[in-house]
Structure 1
Amino acid sequence: MTALKIDITIDNTPVTQDELAKVQEWRIKHVLQEMKTLGADIALSAIDINLLPYAEAKQLLLDTKAKYADLADMKALYKAPLAASDTFWKQVAANSNGNQDLQEGQVIMHVEGLAMPQLQKVMGSELESDFAAIINPEHFYSVGNTITGQHIIETFGCFGEPTEMTLYPETGDFKPTTPDPTYPIQMGGYVALTSDDDTLGYGWRAYHQIRPTATGFDAILAAYLPSGTPTEIINGHKWHLAVEFSEMVKYAATH
């Protein structure tokens, strides 16, 4: 059997799993510090959090999020940041051109040692908060699946505050890009704010293209955000996607 191998490319530059682990460590400690500031039950001081080794910091974040697994509890803890984020994205939408001129954040992934059905089994299951937290430190809440939709709280692009939203699978013909004909599997969806189910002109899109290979698969992972979105979010979300799908592949390979 082929050993598990994950190759990531961002902006034509190879990115190692060690580099992605370092990004995770930075974001894990950022989230821990913010949760503590907001009043989360974390016994360690801010200084002690910064001194934690990566593995211990990751486990502390998972344990802390588990204490606020109920949606009402997470929303109460993040009440002010969620409100600020909701306002921020509505302003972005007001300054954007609907689903036109979308900004693309793309990641190229090559995987060996994991068959597509193994990944599809994970992606098609109920993607609950505990799993969401494992695959990305800036996932705070998740209920649902990629088939019927997900109610989620996450931070876009390692930037700003978490956003509460609903991710719906694509049911229409709209595609934010011209598909690559060599990638037969395509997964698309759009995001709406849960505050009023506002689709923001369908200006938030996910569009992933996958090609099975003899030893695994190739993927073009991409998020498309409204034209008025700060560039920092577009660039940051490439790293968010790289972390999320790398960790998802590792999880699928061991479950």
Structure 2
Amino acid sequence: MMNLSKRKEVLYMTNFKLDIEINNETYTETQLNRYKYERALHFLHEVIDLGFTPKTSDGQSVTPIELNWMTPADVLALAVATHTAMGSAGTLDLFKDILIDSDNRWHAFNQRPIEEQGVWIGTTHLTAHGIDPASFGMAMGGLQNGDIPFQIMPEHYYFAGDITKEPQTIMETFGMLGEPTLTYGTGGKEIPSYVHVDRLADHPSILAGETFLKHDDFNIHVGAIHQIQPLPDGLDIVSSYFCPKDAPKAIADGHTIHFALELGGALQIAAQQQS
């Protein structure tokens, strides 16, 4: 006879269901996977332009034209393999000039005081059923491990550290717009005073973060407010992304999709780990 604990794990995975709303509009898994494929394609074309040659699992070099004829599944697999092959040192070297440009742009977006210009805010709302809430925390803590960041979101270039315990170094493209930026994020329980997001009384857990440029510790006033409500069989998560209003609004709009892929991916990993 199956023990109660194992029976509970199987029930969770069998009944796993994820609903996602972005700025009050429903998004399907099919829609989100298409965004993921297109951003993987963008990433791979850029590394080719910068001088790195992606290779398939059997060692065959991939040209830009061949890349465009690959299936979405093969493109996503190639993106993960390419991130892994470049490694953190290779990635930082390949993008070194781009990272300098990104830093300069974020300084420019923050020339006006943040209290004066305000922030753009985008909201991602995820409701997951069929998942043990405790397993989600473990999955989030392991997002920086191995190739998991690349599997979840192709515009994750580099991750180090668990933001729930320490500053987390992150190289990623904010909002699927522009270029990657090398930063570190801090996490806490207080919503920054310049971010006008309501504290949800029925979501007792909160992780509020701000982001700083890695090279000079400059606060770029980019971050997230994750508010979490345990459900009898899952979780309800409301994630608000913010960035300065002197930056393009499209960054805040686009990062809501980034969050849907990132948090949705973590929830799926948590559900799989239960089975």
TM-score range, shorter chain: over 0.9
The question of 1:16 aligning with 2:28 is answered yes
Q: 1:218 to 1:172 in 2, by over 3 A?
A: closer
| Other-structure match for 1:97 | 114
Q: Which amino acid aligns with 2:172?
A: E
Q: CA deviation at 1:174?
A: 3.3
| Other-structure match for 1:88 | 105
Where 1:69 maps in the other structure, the secondary structure is: helix
Aligned equivalent of 1:225, options 228, 234, 243? 243
Q: 1:9 to 1:98 in 2, by over 3 A?
A: same
Unaligned runs of 5+ in 2: 1-10, 55-60
Question: 1:235-250 counterparts in 2 under 5 A?
Answer: 235-250=253-268
Where 1:110 maps in the other structure, the secondary structure is: strand
Q: CA deviation at 1:178?
A: 2.0
The question of 1:121 aligning with 2:138 is answered yes
Deviations 1:149-202 (A, max 9, x none): 2111000001000000001112766353220101111111110001201113xx
Where 2:109 maps in the other structure, the secondary structure is: helix
Where 1:254 maps in the other structure, the secondary structure is: helix
The question of 1:179 aligning with 2:199 is answered yes
The question of 1:107 aligning with 2:124 is answered yes
Question: 1:132-171 counterparts in 2 under 5 A?
Answer: 132-146=149-163, 147-170=165-188
Asked if the contact 1:143/1:151 (under 8 Å) is kept, the reply is: yes
Unaligned runs of 5+ in 1: none
Q: CA deviation at 1:136?
A: 0.7
Q: Considering only aligned residues, what root-mean-square deviation do their CA atoms show, in Å?
A: 1.7
Where 1:108 maps in the other structure, the secondary structure is: strand
Where 2:215 maps in the other structure, the secondary structure is: coil
Where 2:114 maps in the other structure, the secondary structure is: coil
Where 1:196 maps in the other structure, the secondary structure is: coil
Structure 1: distance between partners of 2:80 and 2:255: 21
Where 1:141 maps in the other structure, the secondary structure is: strand
Q: Which amino acid aligns with 2:141?
A: G
Question: 1:12-91 counterparts in 2 under 5 A?
Answer: 12-42=24-54, 43-70=61-88, 72-91=89-108
Asked if the contact 2:144/2:159 (under 8 Å) is kept, the reply is: yes
TM-score of the aligned structures, taking structure 1 as reference length: 0.93
Structure 1: distance between partners of 2:191 and 2:17: 34
| Other-structure match for 2:8 | none
Q: Percent identity?
A: 27
Deviations 1:15-48 (A, max 9, x none): 0001100010110100010011111132111111
Structure 2: distance between partners of 1:187 and 1:6: 21
Asked if the contact 1:98/1:226 (under 8 Å) is kept, the reply is: no
TM-score of the aligned structures, taking structure 2 as reference length: 0.87
The question of 1:192 aligning with 2:231 is answered no
Runs of 4+ with deviation above 4 angstroms: none
Where 2:122 maps in the other structure, the secondary structure is: strand
Which structure has the bigger radius of gyration? 2
Structure 1: distance between partners of 2:18 and 2:227: 16
Where 1:88 maps in the other structure, the secondary structure is: helix
How many residues get paired?
Answer: 252
Structure 2: distance between partners of 1:234 and 1:129: 28
Structure 1: distance between partners of 2:116 and 2:154: 28
Q: Which amino acid aligns with 2:94?
A: L
Q: CA deviation at 1:98?
A: 4.8
